[in-house]
């Protein structure tokens, strides 16, 4: 029969660290390093139609400068032609949606 030793240790965490219950984090995977296609973006937006996503997010004049900057920086990839596939850096696109949540035409 194996021996069991019970021990108590004190570990000091830096002030910027927090211990959290992982059950409270949910099952969402990190978006860091993930790529979305157009269907993934639709799903993130609550399964909105392609027309809704185009009109309210990608081609919305309010966001044209920011979307163009994301295109220029490679955070969004699209050839600009109808039917051309979209690719999005998931984390940056999710942050964009979060920043503009109240401005979207829900």
How far apart CA 8 and CA 35 sit, in angstroms, is: 43
Count other C-beta atoms under 10 Å from residue 11's C-beta.
5
Which carries the bigger pLDDT value, residue 57 or residue 13? 57
- In the chain, what is the straight-line distance between the N-terminal and C-terminal CA atoms, in Å? 63
pLDDT of residue 12: 84
What is the pLDDT averaged over residues 89-96? 95
Read off the pLDDT of residues 28-42 as tens digits, 9 standing for 90 and up.
Answer: 568 889 999 999 999
Provide the pLDDT for residue 20: 65
Mean of pLDDT values over 18-26: 59
Confidence of residue 61 (pLDDT cuts 50, 70, 90): very high
Give the separation between CA 8 and CA 10, rounded to whole angstroms.
7
């Amino acid at each position: 029969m194996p021996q069991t030793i019970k021990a108590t240790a004190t570990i000091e965490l830096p002030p910027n660290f927090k211990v959290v219950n992982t059950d409270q984090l949910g099952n969402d995977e990190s978006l860091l390093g993930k790529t979305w296609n157009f269907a993934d973006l639709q799903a993130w937006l609550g399964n909105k139609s392609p027309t809704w996503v185009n009109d309210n997010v990608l081609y919305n004049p309010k966001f044209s400068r920011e979307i163009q900057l994301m295109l220029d920086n490679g955070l969004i990839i699209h050839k600009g032609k109808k039917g051309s596939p979209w690719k999005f850096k998931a984390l940056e696109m999710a942050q964009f949606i979060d920043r503009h949540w109240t401005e979207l035409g829900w």
